[in-house]
Amino acid sequence: MEQSLPNSGKIIFLIGMPGVGKTTGGNKMAIRHGLSFVDLDTMIEQGEGKTIAELFEQDGESGFRKLERSYLEDIIKVTTTDTIIACGGGTPCFYDNMQVMKDAGTVIYLQADIPYLLNSLIETTAARPLLNNLDDLAAYLAHTLQQRKAIYEQAHHILRIEDISLATFDEIILSCINRH
């Protein structure tokens, strides 16, 4: 289903595993290039007045994913300026979210190996409901990545985060906002 986006800005969706740097990197790139920035999880938390962890506890993952889909559709409809959107790690993996994002803009998969993700997540697992209280975070991440990999790889661009330079990331962001 194709989205109708009159007068809309170009949208760049950042996807990838938790801890890969979608929020941090996306915000830096947005500032660097004078773009708007939206973190989908933060938007949901602000809109619902609850943390993602509270929403998971209250409605379970399926309830959260329905809410996430609604917010994704809303942000696409109201975006009027060039915007980078950092999506939750699971966002592209539910419903037809990946196709919706691809139809609405450019999807960039930030790819990282498990040791990189573990290092990034050491301090933040308590705030991430799917990662909280796991006995073996590395095994969980490897299993989850294996499940999501085929969907993530449907992105328009794949950037291996350990190998990417700031200049390469800049080039891709600029090509996304300057096309057409």
| Domains recognised in the chain with CATH numbers | 11-175 (3.40.50.300)
Kindly report the pTM of this predicted structure: 0.90
Strand runs labelled E in 11-156? 11-15, 36-39, 83-86, 106-111
- In the DSSP assignment, the letter for residue 1 is -
Cα 3 to Cα 87, 94, 105, 154: the distances in Å are 18, 18, 10, 18
- In the DSSP assignment, the letter for residue 5 is -
pLDDT number for residue 39: 98
Express each pLDDT in 132-148 by its tens digit: 777 888 999 999 999 99
Per-residue pLDDT of the chain (180 residues; tens, 9 = 90+): 334 434 468 999 999 999 999 999 999 999 999 999 999 999 999 999 999 989 999 999 999 999 999 999 999 999 999 999 999 999 999 999 999 999 999 999 999 999 999 988 876 765 676 677 778 889 999 999 999 999 999 999 999 998 877 677 778 887 887 764
pLDDT number for residue 89: 95
How do 106-111 and 11-15 pair as beta strands? parallel
